[in-house]
């Protein structure tokens, strides 16, 4: 065995080579070959034995979970090698904490000598090791600097709206003329469109998944594999049928991705630091989005509606088959919780909607200590909303005067306020310009020594404070003005939208989600004349709240159709679906049945007395027999 003894020790050398990025050669990177050549020559000159060579080609120095590096650690622990050499210290790693741990703790504990040839680092040379921690810090600073530059370059490209992922998302292909631009994939875009349409109709993710799976459509991973993309075949090795089984996450990812509205989304998962391998997920509303980077498969309005529906907690259909078209829309006026649809099982109704009422979910879960019931009949809500939509639709089509009146009422306050804000905005901008001139003049006075340093600092601090206050107020005014302009445009957009729904007879989830943001339901109240009424506020898209509705809650029996009494034959309105008699006959029959019940009760009591008397007579007779 070749080797050299230093301090009576023979070195079995492990030669370690690393490069962060593969330079594109067929086999090993050119730099890896250079490292091998330098280290091999060094080992030969020392006359040591090269026990093993470890190569990590294409691995970052900030991460020590490299395959060959971990194999080297195992060989050290097994005693295969007792000396590690690298071309320079940065080849071992660029994390100064981990490098220090290996150099100062792990290697000495295992009697391993470490040498970085070009840096002159040798763990046997104590004076050279004194400066080694600073070398590690510099190596890490280099990695950190490279990381910052790469991230900056990626962010710049992202801000330009360039798509940088390796493969296009489902429903898109990369533009052959520009791989950073997306084009709609006509082969599967209709599937994406269908998924969004189902969501707009109120379908939940499980129901959409079931619908898509019935059509035997290739799932996104299978479709990617069919297009020649690698890394997906492992999902289908055991079962070919898996190619056509969509998962709920696939549906959810499509519905959540701003890509399908024509926007570029990024920074969904962020690493907390360069040293961490974890990437923490962010909520969809925290993603960074660049709008209008490519053609969308759905409109922005449809996408926003789906996001709101997915964010709301809702039940689309209860066990009785009732379709909750107001899911995610209807809220409690007092606590803000959603109102949930509940079946009232004691009712017998021909239409399922008449067997359902909405009530506050907070009250249902936590009792009247936190809120009240806010009950509203599903039929009442349906009729009120349908009538209000038809009212606005008829107005938008036929009554231009009423339209102008509503537009004026909704925007008049905003217009008058906007004028005042615009005046304030001009005044603030003028003052900022004056402050800029004052700063310039003040600095000139300081340079020319017309004022002292103390006075300059005092005046500049005063001006700077005023500048910051003006800029903050100017930002607030600008945002308020933008909101006002958007509201004026929103009225026109709303009237243009609602015209399409003139004369509708039925409501469904698609119509509700297209027109309404939310519906607020108040608790029932009894007014002075004893009438019970309930207030509903509908917040329409683009314009928000227009005016409250006051409804008279339906009595629970009023929804039933009249029927004929089975005794006298007259027509009457029943109290329940199982009613057979009119009120007069019911009262008469109740009295007759009550009398019969009393007779039966008295007869039972009389019979019980007779049996008890007979039992007592038997006991007395038996006692007399015992005496005689």
Catalytic center residues: 20
> Whole-angstrom Cα distance, residue 522 to residue 332?
7
Contact between 353 and 325 (Cβ < 8 Å)? no
Burial class (CB in 10 A: 0-12, 13-18, 19+), 380: buried
Which of 131, 125, 76, 128 is CA-nearest to residue 102?
76
Cα pseudo-dihedral 71, 76, 82, 86, rounded to 10:
40
Q: What are the C-alpha distances in Å from 589 to residues 389, 517, 573, 595?
A: 48, 52, 18, 10
Question: 461 pairs with which residues across the strands?
Answer: none
| HSE-up (13 A, CA, CB side) for residue 586 | 14
Query: Cα 351–356–358 angle (5° rounding)?
Result: 150
Chain centroid to CA 50: 55
User: How far is residue 594's CA from residue 591's CA, in Å, rounded to a whole number?
Assistant: 5
Record the tokens describing residue 246, joined without a space: 């969509």
CA angle 240, 241, 243 (to 5 degrees): 80
Spatial CA neighbour of 550 closest among 387, 392, 395, 407: 387
Q: Which tokens hold the place of 582?
A: 């009119």
Rounded CA-CA distance 166/188 in Å is: 19
Q: Are 140 and 38 in contact (CB under 8 A)?
A: no
Strands (E), 368-427: 376-377
């Amino acid at each position: 065995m070749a080797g050299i003894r230093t301090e009576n020790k023979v070195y079995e050398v492990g030669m370690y080579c690393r490069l962060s990025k593969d330079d594109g050669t067929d086999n090993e990177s050119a730099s890896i070959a250079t490292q091998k050549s330098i280290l091999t020559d060094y080992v030969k000159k020392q006359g040591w034995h090269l026990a093993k060579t470890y190569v990590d080609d294409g691995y970052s120095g900030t991460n020590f979970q490299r395959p060959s590096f971990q194999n080297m650690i195992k060989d050290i622990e097994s005693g295969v090698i007792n000396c590690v050499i690298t071309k320079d210290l940065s080849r071992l790693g660029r994390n100064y904490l981990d490098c220090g741990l290996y150099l100062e703790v792990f290697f000495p504990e295992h009697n391993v000598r470490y040498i970085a040839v070009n840096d002159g680092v040798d763990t046997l040379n104590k004076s050279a090791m004194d400066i080694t921690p600073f070398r590690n810090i510099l190596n890490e600073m280099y990695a950190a600097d490279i990381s910052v530059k790469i991230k900056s370059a990626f962010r710049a490209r992202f801000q330009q709206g360039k798509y940088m992922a390796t493969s296009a998302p489902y429903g898109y292909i990369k533009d052959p003329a520009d791989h950073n631009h997306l084009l709609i994939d006509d082969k599967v875009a209709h599937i994406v469109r269908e998924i969004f349409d189902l969501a707009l109709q109120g379908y939940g993710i499980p129901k959409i998944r079931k619908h898509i799976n019935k059509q035997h459509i290739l799932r996104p991973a299978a479709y990617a594999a069919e297009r020649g993309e690698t890394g997906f075949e492992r999902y289908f090795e055991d079962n070919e049928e898996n190619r056509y089984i969509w998962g709920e996450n696939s549906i959810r990812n499509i519905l959540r991705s701003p890509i399908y509205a024509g926007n570029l989304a990024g920074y969904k998962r962020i690493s907390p630091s360069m040293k961490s391998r974890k990437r923490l997920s962010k909520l969809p509303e925290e993603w960074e989005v660049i709008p209008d980077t490519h053609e969308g498969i759905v409109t922005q309005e449809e996408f926003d509606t789906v996001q709101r529906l997915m964010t709301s907690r809702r039940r689309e259909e209860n066990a009785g088959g009732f379709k909750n078209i107001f899911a995610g829309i209807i809220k409690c006026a007092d606590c803000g919780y959603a109102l949930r649809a509940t079946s009232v099982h004691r009712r017998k109704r021909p239409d399922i909607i008449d067997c359902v009422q909405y009530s506050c979910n907070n009250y249902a879960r936590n009792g009247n200590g936190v809120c009240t019931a806010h009950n509203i009949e599903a039929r009442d809500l349906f009729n009120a909303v349908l009538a209000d939509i038809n009212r606005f639709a008829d107005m938008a089509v036929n009554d231009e005067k009423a339209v102008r009146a509503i537009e004026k009422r909704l925007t008049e306050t905003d217009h008058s306020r906007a004028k005042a804000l615009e005046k304030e905005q001009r005044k603030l901008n003028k003052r900022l310009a004056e402050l800029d001139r004052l700063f310039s003049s003040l600095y000139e006075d300081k340079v020319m020594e017309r004022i002292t340093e103390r006075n300059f600092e005092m005046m500049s601090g005063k001006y700077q404070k005023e500048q910051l206050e003006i800029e903050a107020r100017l930002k607030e005014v600008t945002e308020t003005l933008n909101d006002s302009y958007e509201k004026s445009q929103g009225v026109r957009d709303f009237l243009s939208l609602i015209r399409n729904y003139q004369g509708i007879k039925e409501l469904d989830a698609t119509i509700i989600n297209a027109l309404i943001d939310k519906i607020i339901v108040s608790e029932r109240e009894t007014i002075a004349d004893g009438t019970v009424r309930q207030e509903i506020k509908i917040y329409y898209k683009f314009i928000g709240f227009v005016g409250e509705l006051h409804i008279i809650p339906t009595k629970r029996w009023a929804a039933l159709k009249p029927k004929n009494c089975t005794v006298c034959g007259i027509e009457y309105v029943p109290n329940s679906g199982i009613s057979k008699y009119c009120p007069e006959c019911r009262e008469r029959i109740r009295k007759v049945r009550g009398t019969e019940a009393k007779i039966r009760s008295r007869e039972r009591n009389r019979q019980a007395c007779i049996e008890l008397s007979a039992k007592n007579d038997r006991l007395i007779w038996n006692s007399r027999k015992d005496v005689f």
